Amino acid sequence: MRVHAKRAGALLGGLLFPAWSMADWTLNMAPGVTGTSNEIFSLHMTILWICVVIGIVVFGVMFWSIFAHRKSQGHKPANFHENTVVEVLWTIIPFVILVVMAIPATATLVDMYDTAESDVDIKVTGYQWRWKYDYLEEDFGYFSNMATSKDEIYNRQDKSENYLLDVDNPLVIPVGKKVRLLVTANDVIHSWWVPAFGVKKDAIPGFINETWTRVDEPGIYRGQCTELCGKDHGFMPVVVKAVPEDEYNEWVAEQREAAERERELTEKDWTLEELMERGEQAYASACAACHQADGSGAPPAFPALRGSQIVLEDMDAHLDIVVNGVAGTAMQAFGGQLSEVDLAAVITYERNAWGNNTGEMVTPKEVFEYKNQE
């Protein structure tokens, strides 16, 4: 089969072999790296074997009839029907099997729901189409975007090993610690899944779901969003880096410092060029998915920014839309998502990129004041 499929691939798909060398024929679930995922794996295998055994018995009888009881072989039909003993047996036996199965399943479920006594608490927020991780005890947080380029997706470039499963900033957790995840969403429903942990939880706006994991082996674990969340649902991977505790503590210290520096940047005096430079990056990660890299948008759902009246003229309306969003549309309130610096940079960028040469800028301080006057 492998050879055939590959040949078909070569024939029909042209020269995509780099992609093929990476593929594999995994048949089963992997046991994963946490207690939960191992328990789930053993439940999965138990129920699978139960099904296989029942299948062999039922299909065995059926195939026996198909081969031995054919009219073409002159088999004469029996005329039996209704037999209370048989009918009671084939109701009771499956029932007993199910009860036996339900016991370990219940135990695992109780364990999965026990989120008490965690060592680290992290808030996971789903956005269209990226994740945000906030370290609740540590006062910092960041977005995690897919790092696969459009060139790879549109087949202009070879696909890398972790195609679609790579992010700019992975979630970092310490090994051997109980990490509690508080899962929620900002816009639509998403679902945060890392198969190797046996953790999947829906991220629902207005709700905070709890789940937990304890990873014993350091490593990089990959998953994806598993609830349809719009256009780029297939492009919001989850990557978790589990590191030894020392390394984790060091990393946390660095992040805290960086967050501090970021807050200081708000106070700094920015030039138009500096804001434009920063704005281009912020635009690419926060806005381009809908409004496109060249500001052309995808009307009517996502209006063009190039030549837009709000962008060219009305600064207050521009601030309002970016900070507060537009209720009832896909335009989110970015006020809580982006720092003052990034908000100022993005707005400045939009007012001066793609021929929108207004020459106007707004500084992080002004954004800060705008947000606080409300």
Partner 1 sequence: MSAVADTHAQDHHHHGPAKGFSRWLLTTNHKDIGTMYLIFSFTMFLLGGTMAMVIRAELFQPGLQMVEPEFFNQMTTMHGLIMVFGAVMPAFVGLANWMLPLMIGAPDMALPRMNNWSFWLLPCAFLILVSTLFMSGGAPNFGWTFYAPLSTTYGPPSTTFFIFAVHIMGISSIMGAINVIATILNLRAPGMTLMKMPLFVWTWLITAFLLIAVMPVLAGVVTMMLMDINFGTSFFDASGGGDPVLFQHVFWFFGHPEVYIMILPAFGAVSHIIPAFSRKPLFGYASMVYAVGAIALLSFVVWAHHMFTVGIPIAGQLFFMYATMLIAVPTGVKVFNWVATMFRGALSFEAPMLFAVAFVILFTIGGFSGLMLAIAPADFQYHDTYFVVAHFHYVLVPGAIFGIFASAYFWLPKWTGHMYDETLAKTHFWLSFIGMNLAFFPMHFLGLAGMPRRIPDYALQFADFNMVSSIGAFMFGATQLLFLLIVVKCVKGGEKAAAKPWDGAEGLEWTLPSPPPYHSFTTPPEVK
Q: Of 181-200, which residues contact partner 1 (CB under 8 A)?
A: 187-189, 191, 193, 195, 198-200
Question: CA separation (Å) from 183 to 134, 178, 338?
Answer: 10, 16, 19
Do 296 and 304 touch, CB atoms closer than 8 A?
yes
- Tokens for 251, please give them: 């990393």
The pair of structure tokens assigned to 63 is: 């195939």
Select 59 or 268, whichever has its Cβ closest to partner 1.
59
Q: What is the dihedral of CA 86, 91, 97, 100, to 10 degrees?
A: -130
Q: Which of residues 67-86 bind partner 1 (CB under 8 A)?
A: 69-72, 75-83, 86
d(CA 316, CA 112): 48
Number of residues that bind partner 1 (CB under 8 A): 113
Q: Is residue 210 within the footprint of partner 1 (CB under 8 A)?
A: yes
Candidate residues 33, 34, 108, 363; the one interacting with partner 1 per rule CB under 8 A = 108
DSSP string, 7-53: HHHHHHH-S-HHHHHH-----S----SSHHHHHHHHHHHHHHHHHHH
Options 38, 105, 178, 218; binder of partner 1; rule CB under 8 A: 105
Eight-state DSSP code of residue 335:
G
Q: Is 95 in the site for partner 1 (CB under 8 A)?
A: yes
Contact set for partner 1, span 301-340 (CB under 8 A): 301, 327-330
Shortest CB 279 distance to partner 1, Å: 26
For residue 316, the minimal CB distance to partner 1 (Å) is 23
Q: Candidates 130, 132, 180, 201: give the one binding partner 1 (CB under 8 A).
A: 201
What residues numbered 164-183 form the site for partner 1, per CB under 8 A? 164-165
Query: Minimum distance from CB of 143 to partner 1 (Å)?
Result: 20
Site for partner 1 in 135-154 (CB under 8 A): 152-154
* H or E segment to which residue 265 belongs: helix 245-267
CB 167 within 8 A of CB 237: yes
For partner 1, which is the closer residue by CB, 211 or 363? 211
If binding is defined by CB under 8 A, does position 109 make contact with partner 1? yes
User: Residues 6 or more apart from 12 whose CB is under 8 A from it?
Assistant: none
Interface with partner 1 (CB under 8 A), residue from 66, 253, 258, 317: 66
Q: Minimum distance between the CB of residue 28 and partner 1, rounded to whole angstroms? A: 6
Query: Which two three-digit tokens encode residue 235?
Result: 């492009």
Least CB distance to partner 1 at residue 95 (A): 6
Of 108, 118, 123, 100, nearest to 50 by C-alpha is 100
